[in-house]
Structure 1
Amino acid sequence: MIESDWSDWLVRDVSNASPDGVAIWYLGCNGFICKGSDGSTIYIDPYLGLGDPPRTIRMIPVPFDPADVDEADAVLATHEHTDHVHGPSQAPILENTGATLFAPDDSIAVARENENWTSEWDVTDDQLSEVTEGDTLEVGGFTIRVEEAYDPDATHPVSYVIEHEAGTFFHGGDTKPTDEFERIGTEYDIDLAALAFGTVGQIPDKETREPKRTRWYNDENQIIECADALQCDRLLPSHWDMWKGLTADPTVLHHHARSFAHPDRLEIVEIGDRVDL
């Protein structure tokens, strides 16, 4: 059972919100909640686990207990890594709300086969829905486009373009730069893009536990390369707060972004913060 450092205040904040357009809460790591003006609520990559100490050590609070979530229409996963597909974090949301997990094939395999969501929780098989690049989903007032991503550490990553009459939110998962972003930036009018940012660190190898030079996320130049290609108005750096040894200071990105056409603005947020489209 997951215990939150913050009790249920964040879940209640989301539940009580009545946004004029779209409200987006940052959950730390690469997790987000999107709530539209019609009340439709989407969770993206919510992760409430503690990592695998001493290899991966969580550096931020656990913002809520998933058992407290009683309003959700969908959970999106970008790829199969534990901090993006995690039964104890996500299956209780599906169990409590009847929401559907939308995710690429290897992520669905984790839920079905590795973690047995349908037997460990009251989750039905039809709540686990496979998506792939080019798919379009309709969730309340949201239209969700499944798009390309490039994460060499994942077996099948995707990104999501989440469209609403109030604006468009891009969630890249743990993607690094890819030529596809120029097409995506031309095809969509992206108001806000969330992209993973971090440093290089010495992280114990998963099997040998020996320290290994590790780069999981975009550095300062890569994240601005992504944002410029996507032609996003606002860039929200994510994931920089999560793992000991890979944390970063997102405020330095002002210097890296200054001479580029995009992003127009940086959204520097901390866990629990809300931004609006």
Structure 2
Amino acid sequence: MTTSDWGDWLPRAINAADPDGVAVWYLGCNGFVLKGSEGTTLFVDPYLGTGDPPRTVRMIPVPFDPEDVAAADAVFATHEHSDHVHGESQAPILERTGAPFVAPDASLAAAREDQTWEDRWDIDAEQFREVAEGDVLEIGGFTVHVVEVNDPDAEHPVGYVFEHDAGTVFHPGDSRPADSFPELGREFDIDLGILAFGTAGMIPDKETREPKYTQWYSDEGQVAQAANALGLDRLLPSHWDMWKGLTADPTALHEHVASFDYPRHLEVAEIGDRVDLPDEPTTR
């Protein structure tokens, strides 16, 4: 586990925050923290590892140590990949806070392979909560809907719609455009939608280590397609900062979404940044 060179300022800022509605912090990669006005604090896909160099090389800082997290009401995983289910990043949060780990079946299986999280950390089996598409959870001030997404590289991916009195946030993991998105856009008034964005590149194969053409995230056109289908008010691209060879420029999305009805605004956040609901977005 790599120690953060940022110290504990980010978890301290999250713990001290008293948002009027919902505050959302970008943790880099596809990690986020949501905190509601009543204090409910939710982590989604927090990842503090460095990848698997030279195959996957982290390009951004590790923003905090998980042992510095003082409060969490739940930790969510969208799918089983190691930058979304990672014991060293997530288990200490569960151990320190007693929060449940909310995830689909393949993600829970990944957490229990080889040395299980329960063997390595003081975590109860009851903290592992399996969910599937169609489930609805009530956690503090949030109603969380588990929804269908489209990540062709994952065994069982899901997305989460976080409803709060102040607004609605959608996190679909690393999903590409999905057949479910138009219906989700009609069912939910999504104020802030998070979409994984990146380039394609030549990345060493996991088995052979030979360079292989790789695309893990949506390109500009796919992000525009997904955002429009979902009817997003604000689009926040993620994951563009993370892996060497797959990074991208999120400001380039401005031209790609300009002619569509949605998203109405492009919200570019860097690791450690906070955005708020409700609030006037900053860019388009």
Category of TM-score, reference length = shorter chain: over 0.9
TM-score (norm 1): 0.99
CA distance in 2, matches of 1:38, 1:125: 28
Post-superposition offset of 1:70: 1.4
Task: Give the secondary structure class of the aligned counterpart of 1:240.
Answer: coil
Q: Which residue of 1 aligns with 2:270?
A: 270
| Deviation by residue 1:36-93 (Cα, 9 ceiling, x = unmatched) | 0010000000000000000000000000000111100000000000000000000000
> Hey, what's the Cα distance between the residues in 2 that align with 1:5 and 1:263?
35
Q: 1:115 Cα shift?
A: 4.4
- Structure 1 residues not aligned, in runs of 5+: none
What is the deviation of 1:5?
Answer: 1.6
2:23 maps to 1:19: no
Displacement, 1:2?
Answer: 3.7
Mapping of 1:1-277 within 5 angstroms? 1-277=1-277
| C-alpha distance in structure 1 between counterparts of 2:156 and 2:45, whole Å | 15
Aligned AA (1:82): S
Q: How far, CA to CA, are the matches of 1:106 and 1:115 in structure 2?
A: 16
User: Closer, same or farther in 2 for the Cα pair 1:103/1:114, shift >3 Å?
Assistant: farther
- Cα distance in structure 1, aligned partners of 2:57 and 2:178: 29
Say if 1:33 and 1:43, in contact at 8 Å, map to a contact too: yes
- 2: CA distance between counterparts of 1:36 and 1:115? 34
> 2-side partners of 1:85 and 1:113: how far apart?
11
Distance 1:110 1:258 in 2: 40
What is the distance in 2 between the residues matched to 1:115 and 1:141? 34
**Which stretches of structure 1, 4 residues or more, deviate above 3 A after TM superposition?**
none
Q: 1:115 to 1:266 in 2, by over 3 A?
A: farther
RMSD: 0.7
- Aligned-residue identity in percent: 67
Alpha-carbon separation, structure 2, partners of 1:114 and 1:42: 27
Aligned partner of 1:243: which letter?
A: W
Counterparts of 2:5 and 2:174 in 1: how far apart (Å)? 26
Task: Report the alpha carbon displacement of residue 6 of structure 1 after superposing the two structures with TM.
Answer: 0.3
Q: How far apart are the structure 2 equivalents of 1:2 and 1:73?
A: 25
Q: Deviations over 1:153-175 (max 9, x none)?
A: 00000000000000000001000
Unaligned runs of 5+ in 2: 278-284
The two structures have a TM-score, normalised by structure 2, of 0.97
